[in-house]
Chains A and B, each alone.
Chain A
Amino acid sequence: MSPGAAVKLTIDGRETSVAPGTTIFDAARGLGIEIPTLCHAQHQTPVGVCRVCTVDVKNNRVLAAACVRPAEDGMIVATATDGVQRARRTLVELLLSDHPSPCARQRATGDCELERLGAGYAVTTPRFGHHDASRGRDESSFFIAVDHTACILCDRCIRGCSEVKNNFVIGRTGKGHQAGIAFDTDVPMAASTCVGCGECMVSCPTGALTNRKIVDVDLPAGEEMSAEQLQKLDIFKRMSGTFLDLNRGAVVRRRFEPS
Chain B
Amino acid sequence: MTGGSSIIAELRAIQRAHGFIPVTALRDLSERARVPLYQLHGVVSFFPHFRESPAPPVEVLVCDDMSCHRRGASALLAALEEHVAQAGPPGTVVRPVSCLGRCDRAPACAVNDTILSRVTLDGLAPHLLTAAVGGTLPAEHATPDGRALRVDPYAEAGQRYGAARKLATDGDAAGVIAALKASNLRGMGGAGFPTGLKWEIVRNAEGSEKYIVCNGDESEPGTFKDRYILENAPHLLVEGMVLAGLVTGARQGIVYIRHEYEAQIEIVEREIARARAAGAVGPDVFGSGRAFELEVFVSPGGYICGEESALLEAIEGKRAEPRNKPPFPGTHGLWNKPTVINNVETFVMTPTILLRGPEWFKAQGKSGAPGLKFVGISGDVVRPGAYEIAMGTPAREVIFDLAGGIAGGRRFKAWAPSGPSSGYLPPALVDTPLDFKALADVGSMLGSGAIVVLSEDACMLDMALNAVRFFRNESCGKCVPCRVGSAKLVEILGDIARGHGRPEHLTVIDDLAHALTLTSICGLGQVVPVPIKSVLTHFRPEIDDHLLRRRCPAGVCPMTGV
Contacts and interface: CB of A to CB of B under 8 A. Distances in A.
Interface centre among B26, B42, B504, B517 (most CB of A within 10 A): B42
A97 B36 CA distance: 33
A98 B521 CA distance: 21
Contacts of A176: 472-477, 483, 486
Interface stretch (B283-291, B407-415, B507-515): B507-515
A65 interface: yes
Contacts of A129: 491
Interface string B441-476: 000000000000000000000000000000011111
A169 B478 CA distance: 19
Contact of A175 (B476, B504, B519, B526): B476
B64 to A, nearest CB: 17
A172 interface: yes
B560 interface: no
Contact of A172 (B37, B319, B326, B519): B319
Interface string A189-202: 00001000000000
A177 B42 contact: no
A90 B319 contact: no
Interface in B483-507: 483-488, 491-492, 504
B477 A185 contact: no
A87 B480 CA distance: 11
Summarize A's interface: helix, strand, loop or mixed: loop
A174 B46 CA distance: 5
B515 A91 contact: yes
A88 to B, nearest CB: 8
A254 interface: no
A169 B508 contact: no
A171 B38 CA distance: 6
A227 to B, nearest CB: 27
B518 A174 contact: no
B519 A62 contact: yes
B511 A153 contact: no
Interface in B31-51: 36-39, 41-42, 45-48
Given A95-B480, A175-B476, A185 B41 contact: yes
A190 B491 CA distance: 36
A183 interface: yes
A170 B37 CA distance: 9
Given A51-B521, A168-B38, 13 more contacts: A48-B479, A49-B478, A52-B480, A86-B511, A90-B481, A91-B481, A94-B485, A95-B480, A175-B45, A175-B46, A179-B476, A182-B41, A183-B38
Interface of B: 23, 26, 36-39, 41-42, 45-48, 302, 319, 324, 326, 472-481, 483-488, 491-492, 504, 508, 511-512, 514-515, 517-521, 526
